[in-house]
Chains A and B, each alone.
Chain A
Amino acid sequence: MKNKYPAVPTYSLVLFLFFSNSYALTNFSGSVKSRFERGEEVNPYLFADYPNNLSERNFFELYISSELNTTDIPFGGRLRLGLRLFEFQPSSVERRMQGLEYQRRLDKIYSQLNIGKWEIWLGDVYETYGRGLALNLMENQDLYFDSGVRGGKINYNGGGWRVKTIAGESREGYLVNREQLAAVNLENRSVKGMKLGLSNVYQRGVSLEERFTPGAYFQIQRWGFTLFGEYAQTRDNKFDELLGDGTYLNLNWGLMGAAVNLEYKYYKFGFDAFNGDSLVENPFRTPPVVQREITTHLMSEHPHLPLTTDQVGFNAEISYSPWYWLFLTSSYSRASSHEGGNLFPSLKEEYKPFWEWFTEGELYPSDKTIVKFAFGMNEEARPFYWRKKTGTLADITYYLSPFHSLTIGGENMLVKDEIYDAEFQEWKISMTLAKASVVSVNFLYQWTTEELDDEDKEWPGGEIAFTLNSSNRLTMFFGRERGGLKCTSGVCRPVQPFEGLRITLQSAF
């Protein structure tokens, strides 16, 4: 990735910030997010056992964002201008594994104008249609995933109708190719409690043929029920070949104190893009995962991967709060690749089956105490992998005074490896002492009985977080961290085991 966007000349920024801050009709805001890491990480290219496979890790990232909002424009309405500067220094392992390079650039720039029922955007834009089967452009800074496009969008919202149009080009990055994209979405909300949407997305990649993704969705809300359904299909440029399709259904019901949520997915979009040498999913489509992504910490460290390429599955979740001091949730998920035209997930090994049952509770026995507990089981089989896991978690927070608290947590996971006929356990304990809005000190210790060659079997660590004032937070971590797959919102990135110091600063002003 090249340093393509030079910085805006300093003098104009200074003038801009000075005058924008000086007037009540205008609001100027900004934020800084910075992370610095110094230590060692596992280098898979050294082909040696731990600790001879460690190499130096020097990592730095910095985001500086600023935004101006004003109602002082000659023709009325609202104007919003924003930009973001980005500096990024990846470690040597990340440079080699993920092709990341040093960058310092004007990362984002955008303007939004709202006049009456119209909204006009220019610059870096994001958008979501329905639940994202046809289009969901998003950014996840933790994973360096950014499917936003540089271009523009025009939206109209009035009289029960909403029209959204977008056009632009994506930037090449993690899991994302440079592609041209244009899309339109028409949504009607004329009938109370109902909405109906139609959309079409056009894509043209550098080396890929043109594709269209038409889609439709609906939502009906009555008597505490919400029913949502969406269908989208990808076709080639002549509309004569179906490249893939997907369906998502969601029914939920809730009354005060109880709720049921049922989800179903039938995704068969297939791989339709190359990123480097790998085939990847379409990054502009991130539909619901239809599973719990967060269960216990240990079970969530090795998550089941939701795929839009070839997966069918469902999730059922019940939540109940009989009294204000007790809250219970239980969920069951199942997924597999498609077994012919079967509408339900298969349990046969060749279809990569996965199931998970998870229950958690919160208990408030007194004003000073919060107790959390969880129990989960899952099983997943895929080529060269078949494991059953059972996890338990307990966590107690006690208020030592109105502003001081102590939290102690413990967690266990039993893992059975069916391929190697092996069994091992993982443990994690933690303790946090905190003074509200001032400081929190956390110690944690994680270990496993699994035989590992490429990393240590113990991960001790300590973290101290200072709230410098309400808008500035400084966090320092020192210790050893386990590697694995880091997943958020269905997007995953491999993270190497790390040991050393991490300093994070987050400010908003």
Chain B
Amino acid sequence: MMKYISLLLILISAGLVFAEDNQEPVIDFSLEDLNGEIRALSEFLGKGPVLLDFWATWCVPCKTEMPYLQAIYEKYSDKGFTLLAISEDTPRSQSRVKPFIMSKRFTFPVLLDPNGDVLKRYQGNTLPFQALLDSKGRIIEVHQGYTPGDEKILESKIAELLETEKADEE
């Protein structure tokens, strides 16, 4: 079996050398939101940077950071920034996600990743985990864990990325 895997990897490697560029994001995914609608990452791309914030209702540091993320979202959303909060709650605790978001008055979009598949795609091993994407969906930076003050560093990176993308457009 390993021979076939090796062969497959070599063939794909060779194919990549002759590939042609296009504008589609390399990583895309579809998840259910809190209204039961299926939403794809590609729907949120193209306007500006996107921050994927992976969290769970049982993760205390994740919940501590979220009010600061809401403030960042309010400050930069009209400039093209999008925050996607991706809940890693399994079916065991999934019912708590919507009440938590509503009672905290958070207004950013929330998606459900009950199998942790999207977290795995961005190589997250712990919560909270964040991936900052540019408007084409390319990963600019990932961040693990939370200590107070991290939100200020994150905000400066988002502002910088917005500036860079604006300059590129001009």
Contact = CB atoms under 8 A, between A and B. Distances in A.
B9 interface: yes
A31 B102 contact: no
Given A12-B10, A18-B13, A68-B12, A252 B98 contact: yes
A235 B131 CA distance: 44
A83 to B, nearest CB: 8
A158 B46 CA distance: 24
B10 A16 contact: yes
B42 to A, nearest CB: 11
B102 A254 contact: yes
A404 B90 CA distance: 34
A13 B90 CA distance: 33
A256 B105 contact: yes
B80 interface: no
A8 interface: yes
Interface in B86-127: 90-96, 98-105, 114-117, 120-126
A221 B12 contact: no
Contact of B147 (A22, A30, A74, A440): A440
Interface string B140-160: 011111011110110000000
B167 interface: no
Interface string A372-398: 000000000000000000000000010
A437 B149 contact: yes
B36 A221 contact: yes
Contact of A287 (B5, B92, B145): B92
Interface in A132-188: 132, 136-139, 141, 157
A340 interface: no
Contacts of B100: 259, 319
B27 A436 contact: no
Contacts of B25: 71
Interface string A320-337: 110010010100000000
Contact of A399 (B9, B30, B35, B149): B149
- Specify which of B91, B100, B144 lies most central, judged by the most chain A CB atoms within 10 Å of its CB: B91
Contact of B12 (A16, A137, A434, A465): A16
A193 B145 CA distance: 35
B2 A9 contact: yes
B99 A252 contact: yes
Given A8-B6, A256-B105, A436-B149, A489 B35 contact: no
21 contacts: A8-B2, A9-B2, A9-B6, A13-B9, A26-B16, A69-B27, A73-B15, A79-B12, A126-B115, A132-B91, A136-B114, A254-B102, A257-B103, A259-B103, A261-B99, A319-B103, A320-B103, A436-B152, A440-B147, A467-B147, A508-B124
Interface of B: 2, 5-7, 9-10, 12-17, 19-22, 24-28, 30, 35-36, 38, 58, 60, 64, 67, 90-96, 98-105, 114-117, 120-126, 129, 138-139, 141-145, 147-150, 152-153
Interface of A: 6-9, 11-13, 15-16, 18-20, 22-27, 29-31, 33, 63, 65, 67-74, 78-82, 109, 114, 126-128, 130-132, 136-139, 141, 157, 189, 193-195, 219, 221, 224, 226, 228, 250, 252-261, 263, 286-289, 293-294, 317, 319-321, 324, 327, 329, 364, 370, 397, 399, 402-405, 407, 434-437, 440, 465, 467, 470-471, 473, 488-490, 506, 508-509
Given A288-B91, A397-B148, A434-B149, 16 more contacts: A15-B9, A69-B121, A70-B12, A72-B16, A126-B115, A130-B91, A132-B92, A139-B116, A157-B30, A193-B36, A221-B36, A260-B99, A286-B90, A399-B149, A436-B148, A470-B143
